[in-house]
Structure 1
Amino acid sequence: MLSMGSVVMGAADVHRAAAFWMRALGYVPRDGDVEDDWTVLVPAEGRGTAVSLGLSETPVQEHPRVHLDLYATDQAAEVERLIALGAERVDWDLYGGDCYFVVLADTEGNRFCVIDKS
């Protein structure tokens, strides 16, 4: 049997990416420190899917095949909080009418969605 261990994302600056995701998700480095080329972040309170960040020189994909969906009970407040942490809005060309998600990019340009859970 398999279970989800970690979602891995590339970063040109692992420290900058780790700082963003630690503040965004309330995660901490699994091994106590963030390394220059690799780190695994885990929920501070224990259980949950880890986020791993690896040094990468690969360009960010405009329409990535894999991305994070973050669920929010107050989508507008979470989007503004994430922007204040360094995320940027993405001019997403695939929005439909009555869209329930907002596409943002982290400090490394990795796209992710904030889903309106309501």
Structure 2
Amino acid sequence: MLRVGSVVLGVSDVRRAVAFWTEALRYVPREEVTDDWVVLVPADGPGVQVALGLSESPAQEHPRVHLDLYAADAADQAAEVERLVSLGARHVDWDLYPDDPDFVVLADPDGNRFCVIDTSRN
């Protein structure tokens, strides 16, 4: 039986990505951080790992795969978006928003897109 072990993000600066994603997700490195690879794990127990690997490819404007980060409600979503932006994320001028989106598209310091979802609307 297969299970997802890690979600891998390509980044241009592993140490900068570690600084952002450890604060964003409250994760910690599983092992020593190198200039080309690290796996991050939840600080408080089991969960999805996020691996950061050095990549020379630019981030995609409309990526086929991305992270969805869940917020409890609209207020939590707004607070998390503000927190993530203060850590170095940026708002993305997303041209594919529906009329009443339950998500906000952000990009990490490397330009990798991810969404912050208001799960109270599901």
**TM-score normalised to the size of structure 1?**
0.97
Q: List alignment gaps of at least 5 residues for structure 2.
A: none
Identical-residue share of aligned pairs (%): 72
1:59 is displaced (CA, Å) by 1.0
* Stretches (4+) displaced over 2 A: none
Match among 80, 104, 107 for residue 106 of structure 2: 104
Query: Which SS does the other structure have where 2:84 is aligned?
Result: helix
Distance 2:19 2:89 in 1: 12
Distance 2:71 2:53 in 1: 26
Q: Any residues of structure 2 matched to 1:67-86 within 5 Å, and which?
A: 67-73=66-72, 74-86=76-88
Distance 1:38 1:20 in 2: 15
Distance 2:8 2:45 in 1: 19
Alignment correspondent of 2:54: 55
Query: Which SS does the other structure have where 2:10 is aligned?
Result: strand
Q: Which amino acid letter does the alignment assign opposite residue 68 of structure 1?
A: L
Q: Any residues of structure 2 matched to 1:1-118 within 5 Å, and which?
A: 1-31=1-31, 33-73=32-72, 74-118=76-120
Structure in which a larger fraction of residues adopt helix:
2
1:46 is displaced (CA, Å) by 1.6
| Aligned Cα root-mean-square deviation (Å) | 0.6
